[in-house]
Amino acid sequence: MDMEKQERKTKAGGMALPTPEELMQLQRMRKAGQGAPEGAGVLQERGEQERMTADQKPMEIMQKPMKCMNEDRLREATETLEKYRAGKASVEKRIISAQQWWKMRNWEQIEADRGTKGTQKRKSNTAWLWNCIVGKHAEAMDAFPEPLFLAREKSDEIEAKHLSAIVPVVLAQNGFEETYSQCAWQKETEGTALYGVFWDGRAMNGLGDVKVKKINVLNFFAEPGIDEIQDSRNVFHVKMVHKELLEQRYPELKGKLGGNPRKVAEYIHDDNVDSTDKAMVVDWYYKLWQGGKQVLHYCQYVGDTVLYASEDDPACAEDGYYADGLYPFVEDVLFPVADSIYGIGYIDVGKDTQADIDTMSQAMVTNATVSSTPRYFASKAAGINLEQFMDMSNAIVESNASLGSDSVMPITTPQLHGNALQMYQSKIEELKFITGNTDVQNGTVPSGVTSGIAIQALKEDAGRSSKDASRTSYRAMKRLYTMVIERIRQFYTMERQFRIVGEDGAMQYMTYSNAGLQMQQTMGIDGLPAYRLPVIDVEVHVQREGAYTRMALNDLATQFYQMGIFNPMMAQQSLMMLSMMEFKGKDSMVQKIMQGQQMMAMQQALMGMQGTAQMPERTEQKEKPQEDAVEAGKSEEGEATSPAIDRMRAALDESIRPN
> Whose CA is closest to 44, among 250, 312, 328, 302?
250
73 with 301: CB under 8 angstroms? no
303 and 400 fall within a common domain: no
Residue 599 forms part of a structural domain: yes
CA 376 → CA 373, 390, 395, 457, distances in Å?
10, 10, 17, 58
CA 436, 442, 443, 449 torsion: positive or negative?
negative
- The whole-angstrom separation of Cα 188 and Cα 345 is 5
> Whose CA is closest to 215, among 252, 255, 264, 263?
264
Determine phi and psi for 419, rounding to 5 degrees.
-65, -30
Band (pLDDT 50/70/90 cuts) for residue 614 is low
Q: Which domain does 646 fall in, by range?
A: 569-656
Report pLDDT for 45.
37
Band (pLDDT 50/70/90 cuts) for residue 442 is low
Report pLDDT for 33.
41
Range of weakest confidence among 222-231, 298-307, 629-638, 639-648: 629-638
Domain count, the chain: 3
Task: Give the mean pLDDT of 91-112.
Answer: 91
Strands (DSSP E) along 15-83, which ranges? none
Residue 621 forms part of a structural domain: yes
pTM over 0.85: no
Q: Can you name the residues that pair with 640 across neighbouring β-strands?
A: 634
* Interhelix angle 346-371/128-142, nearest 10 degrees: 140
Percentage of residues in the chain with pLDDT exceeding 70? 74
Range of weakest confidence among 193-202, 205-214, 386-395: 386-395
- The whole-angstrom separation of Cα 402 and Cα 308 is 93
In sequence order, what are the residues at sequence separation of 6 or more whose Cβ sits closer than 8 angstroms to the Cβ of residue 652? 599, 602, 603, 606
CA 72 → CA 78, 303, 494, distances in Å?
10, 12, 39
- The whole-angstrom separation of Cα 225 and Cα 341 is 8
Band (pLDDT 50/70/90 cuts) for residue 529 is confident
How deeply is 631 buried, as exposed, middle or buried, from its count of CB atoms within 10 A (0-12, 13-18, 19+)?
Answer: exposed
Report pLDDT for 68.
83
305 and 393 fall within a common domain: no
Task: Give the mean pLDDT of 534-561.
Answer: 75
Residue 624 forms part of a structural domain: yes
pLDDT at 163 over 90: yes
Longest alpha-carbon distance in the chain = 146
CA 597 → CA 247, 566, 588, 603, 653, distances in Å?
77, 10, 14, 10, 14
CA angle 542, 545, 551 (to 5 degrees): 150
Range of weakest confidence among 47-51, 332-336, 462-466, 627-631: 47-51
- The whole-angstrom separation of Cα 621 and Cα 599 is 34
Residue 461 forms part of a structural domain: no
Query: Mean pLDDT in the chain?
Result: 78
17 and 97 fall within a common domain: yes
108 and 239 fall within a common domain: yes
Determine phi and psi for 214, rounding to 5 degrees.
-80, 135
Residue 28 forms part of a structural domain: yes
Q: Is 90 left (phi over 0), alpha (psi -120 to 50) or beta?
A: alpha
Report pLDDT for 254.
86
Secondary element (H or E) of residue 573: helix 571-578
Band (pLDDT 50/70/90 cuts) for residue 82 is very high
Band (pLDDT 50/70/90 cuts) for residue 112 is confident
107 and 237 fall within a common domain: yes
253 and 381 fall within a common domain: no
pLDDT at 63 over 90: no
569 with 561: CB under 8 angstroms? no
CA 150, 152, 157, 160 torsion: positive or negative?
negative
Report pLDDT for 97.
93
- The whole-angstrom separation of Cα 307 and Cα 283 is 10
DSSP string of 225-286, one letter each residue? T-S-GGG-SEEEEEEEEEHHHHHHH-GGGTTSSTT----S-----SS----TTEEEEEEEEE
pLDDT at 74 over 60: yes
- Helices then strands, counting H and E runs in the chain, come out as 21, 16
Residue 137 forms part of a structural domain: no
How deeply is 11 buried, as exposed, middle or buried, from its count of CB atoms within 10 A (0-12, 13-18, 19+)?
Answer: middle
Report pLDDT for 532.
85
> Whose CA is closest to 134, among 361, 376, 346, 447?
346
Report pLDDT for 638.
45
Task: Give the mean pLDDT of 576-582.
Answer: 81
102 and 240 fall within a common domain: yes
How deeply is 215 buried, as exposed, middle or buried, from its count of CB atoms within 10 A (0-12, 13-18, 19+)?
Answer: buried
164 with 149: CB under 8 angstroms? yes
CA 464 → CA 136, 427, 455, 542, distances in Å?
12, 21, 15, 16
Report pLDDT for 595.
83
Strands (DSSP E) along 493-593, which ranges? 496-501, 507-512, 520-523, 529-532, 536-542
Which of 307, 326, 345 terminates a domain? The answer is 326
Residue 156 forms part of a structural domain: no
Band (pLDDT 50/70/90 cuts) for residue 551 is low
DSSP string of 301-354, one letter each residue? EETTEEEEEGGG-TTTTTT-SSTT-S-SEEEEESB--TT-S--B-HHHHHHHHH
236 with 220: CB under 8 angstroms? yes
Report pLDDT for 452.
61
Band (pLDDT 50/70/90 cuts) for residue 3 is very low
644 and 578 fall within a common domain: yes
Secondary element (H or E) of residue 109: helix 106-114
How deeply is 549 buried, as exposed, middle or buried, from its count of CB atoms within 10 A (0-12, 13-18, 19+)?
Answer: middle
Percentage of residues in the chain with pLDDT exceeding 90? 33
Strands (DSSP E) along 502-646, which ranges? 507-512, 520-523, 529-532, 536-542
Secondary element (H or E) of residue 454: helix 452-462
Residue 610 forms part of a structural domain: yes
237 and 94 fall within a common domain: yes
> Whose CA is closest to 67, among 246, 252, 421, 312?
312
